[in-house]
Structure 1
Amino acid sequence: MNETLSIVIYVLVAIAVVGFSATLLVRTRRTPKSMYPTRRDANDPVTGTGGGTDTLEAPPAETDVVVPDDLRGLEETPAPPAPSIETPEPVQGRLARLRARLAKSNNALGKALLALLSRDTIDEDVWDEIEETLLLADLGTEPTMELVDALRQRVKVSGSQDPQEVHAMLREELIKLVDPTMDRSLAVTRHAETPAIVMVVGVNGVGKTTTVGKLARVLVAEDKDVLLGAADTFRAAAAEQLATWGQRVGVPTVRSEIDGADPASVAFEAVKAGIEGEVDVVLIDTAGRLQNKVGLMDELGKVKRVIEKQAAVDEVLLVLDATTGQNGLTQAKVFAEVVNISGIVLTKLDGTAKGGIVVAIQRTLGVPVKLVGLGEGADDLAPFEAESFVDALLS
């Protein structure tokens, strides 16, 4: 009896020992709770959310990576789209458009001349009115007398009073004055080792920076590789404005990050970059300056001399506002003495009775009008053509 009771107790103890051992084994194989906390720490820089609770599941297999919601803001964001590059209008297309615009403008010069010359009788009073009309159009005294004398002689010899014949005579004499024989081409052909260098100068407010931007579009339309130099360092917005013009057609701009920096230094760096980049043309925008400010004009001469330490300056274009009339001639003379002007860019030529300024400027400086602007559009700049200009005046 006692032996049987001992056996039962022994068996029960053995079962208890085995069960306790199994329980310990199972617990040692469980994953510690600290590995996957069920509550986020608000101070944790990665998982913290500033409060609140959340349950995180065990991480999936390494082959299936999932970014937690809290880290989605750190995912790589796509790069912003590159700015679209505009395609400038072909030069020939804009020439036709500009001619049409000038012909439709309120062109007092052409209208007045044709009205006078189409009268039944062309007497001395009519010739006096023609002379006055030409002078008011800023043709200049000497060219006006030449034109009137030539017309009077031709009308007298022909004896014709037919308006169409007189119109043809006027056209021929005006074309002579505008002079189609002048070389109006731009020197923008790259040299063997250096790019062509073009400086753009003028007084304040005539639109030099805009003209440089539009000229860049003209050259890009002709498949030229262009670089811009923002040497107008006195007007705060000038460099940014020029860079914007360049970005629109994919043209880089060399500029200074410091307002009031030495413009000659900026021009030097622009030419240096143009040489290293083997571009075709470097366009240098300069600060506007009054022609009677000796110090500023001397500085403009310095800019040109500094550029020439690396490469020859092929073009110096003077930007003039057609509406300034005879005052533009005074400006032109002073600039020509300082930097040797090679061509004129005449802006705001549409809708004005001052078309005669083309002749006056060319006579005064002995240099041609090479480009004309007839509007505010990006492609409203085109090469000047003598016959097309006269035809537009007399349309």
Structure 2
Amino acid sequence: MEIVILIAVIALVVIGATGALVVTTRRRKPLPPPRRPVAPAEPQVGEEAAPPREEPRRTVEDVGLPGAPVVVEEPPAPTVPPLPVPELEVPEPTAGRLVRLRSRLSRSQTSLGKGLLSLLSREHLDEDTWEEIEDTLLTADVGVAPTQELVDRLRTRVKVLGTRTPDELRGLLREELLALIGTDTDRTLRTARHTAEDGTARPAVVMVVGVNGTGKTTTTGKLARVLVADGRSVVLGAADTFRAAAADQLQTWGERVGARTVRGPEAGDPASVAFDAVKEGIAEGADTVLVDTAGRLHTKTGLMDELGKVKRVVEKHGPVDEVLLVLDATTGQNGLVQARVFSEVVSITGIVLTKLDGTAKGGIVIAVQRELGVPVKLIGLGEGADDLAPFEPEAFVDALLG
């Protein structure tokens, strides 16, 4: 019995040890304690101080003074080659320019000069022939009154002359045409710097006016070349503010010969631009100020009144020396109507006839002078830069007669 109890006790002890071993092998590992944030180390002194650490040291030269500017070395800027300076053009001298351009009058010469010489050379000058002579003159836009005057004088002189050799007829016709055009008329352009009434020196002021499409801006640019060729210094005023390209076009003309262009905002006040141009001309000591005005229909009262305003504003600096009316020679009698209206708004001092090389109406020179009582001072004989020539009656008539 005691042996049985002892075996039972030993069995219980073995079973308990085995269970403890099983429980021990299944127990989970404990989790690590949470990490607490470490406060930044505070500076310490004495024995608690940390050992010194190696730090980069700066010399006195490296330390900048308080408030001293910090010099930052910038990389060198890339080198940009300078823009090429446009070479100034040298305009042709104006002396004898019309003679050199004589061939440009070939169409007028054929219809007017040769036509008249052919009719006058007929063996019998009857009424029908004289009527043909009148028709030739009227077709060339000489005008009714000048035509009648010329025919009457030719009939009288031919009857007195008797013989009519070609040379005699040519000389006769030349004399009568020169008498109609006028050789004693003052055709000089007042473009020289002069002294004003208050004793100050001021440039000559030239206004260029006319209807749309006559070539005012181009004529103004060519006139600048004429003046530069004669030794004048020029300032251009782009008072045509209604047409966007007008100021650019005029500036291009000026840059070719070294003339500065004064311009304003698009659709700005043209009178203000003209005023500023004259002001700049006075400040720079220029010889001439050319003011290009906007083209306007002669039937538009408001635009014509504005042109008068431009002239009045410019005259605050002093009187306008020249008012040049640009007419298209191909418009014929309509050009005379335009001329009459413009002369009523601004006092015209001279006529510029353009496109005279492309028309058979060379007689417009006579008609427009008779209509306005002012001389033709310049004529345009082509689209070239130097195809604007001072009007010379003798050279013109010789070109017509061939």
Query: If the length of structure 1 is used for normalisation, what is the TM-score?
Result: 0.80
Tell me what 1:307 maps to: 314
Tell me what 1:245 maps to: 253
1:211 offset after TM fit, Å? 0.2
Query: In structure 1, what residue type is equivalent to 2:95?
Result: Q
Q: Map of 1:1-395 to 2, 5 A cutoff?
A: 74-103=77-106, 107-192=110-195, 193-256=201-264, 258-395=265-402
SS in 2 for 1:181: coil
Partners of 1:328 and 1:241 in 2: CA distance: 25
Partners of 2:170 and 2:385 in 1: CA distance: 34
Partners of 1:248 and 1:255 in 2: CA distance: 17
Report % sequence identity.
68
Q: Once the two structures are superposed, what CA deviation does each residue of 1:224-254 show, in whole Å capped at 9, x if it has no partner?
A: 0100000000001000000000000111000
1:90 offset after TM fit, Å? 0.6
How many residues are matched? Answer: 327
1:220 offset after TM fit, Å? 0.3
1:189 offset after TM fit, Å? 1.3
Q: Once the two structures are superposed, what CA deviation does each residue of 1:17-63 show, in whole Å capped at 9, x if it has no partner?
A: xxxxxxxxxxxxxxxxxxxxxxxxxxxxxxxxxxxxxxxxxxxxxxx
1:105 offset after TM fit, Å? 6.2
CA contact (8 A) 1:160 1:166 kept: no
Query: In structure 2, what residue type is equivalent to 1:324?
Result: T
Distance 1:100 1:87, change over 3 A: same
SS in 1 for 2:211: coil
Query: In structure 2, what residue type is equivalent to 1:291?
Result: H
1:159 offset after TM fit, Å? 1.3
Q: Once the two structures are superposed, what CA deviation does each residue of 1:320-363 show, in whole Å capped at 9, x if it has no partner?
A: 00000000000000000101000000001114221111011001
Query: In structure 2, what residue type is equivalent to 1:211?
Result: T
1:104 offset after TM fit, Å? 7.0
CA contact (8 A) 2:205 2:320 kept: yes
1:81 offset after TM fit, Å? 1.1
Query: In structure 2, what residue type is equivalent to 1:384?
Result: F
CA contact (8 A) 1:271 1:282 kept: yes
Partners of 2:132 and 2:278 in 1: CA distance: 52
Tell me what 1:31 maps to: none
- Bigger drift between 85-94 and 221-230 goes to 85-94
Q: Once the two structures are superposed, what CA deviation does each residue of 1:78-100 show, in whole Å capped at 9, x if it has no partner?
A: 21111111000111252222123
Distance 1:232 1:191, change over 3 A: same
Query: If the length of structure 2 is used for normalisation, what is the TM-score?
Result: 0.79
SS in 2 for 1:87: coil
- Bigger drift between 364-373 and 93-102 goes to 93-102
Larger Rg: 2
SS in 1 for 2:91: coil
Query: In structure 2, what residue type is equivalent to 1:76?
Result: T
Partners of 1:281 and 1:270 in 2: CA distance: 10
Partners of 1:311 and 1:328 in 2: CA distance: 30
Tell me what 1:47 maps to: none
Distance 1:329 1:224, change over 3 A: same
1:223 offset after TM fit, Å? 0.8
CA contact (8 A) 2:210 2:216 kept: yes
Listed as ranges, the gaps of 5+ residues in structure 2 are 1-73, 196-200
Partners of 1:106 and 1:317 in 2: CA distance: 26
Partners of 2:311 and 2:190 in 1: CA distance: 16
Tell me what 2:13 maps to: none
Q: Once the two structures are superposed, what CA deviation does each residue of 1:97-152 show, in whole Å capped at 9, x if it has no partner?
A: 21233247663111211111111221111111001110111111110011000000
Partners of 1:136 and 1:212 in 2: CA distance: 30
CA contact (8 A) 2:234 2:286 kept: yes
Partners of 1:351 and 1:299 in 2: CA distance: 32
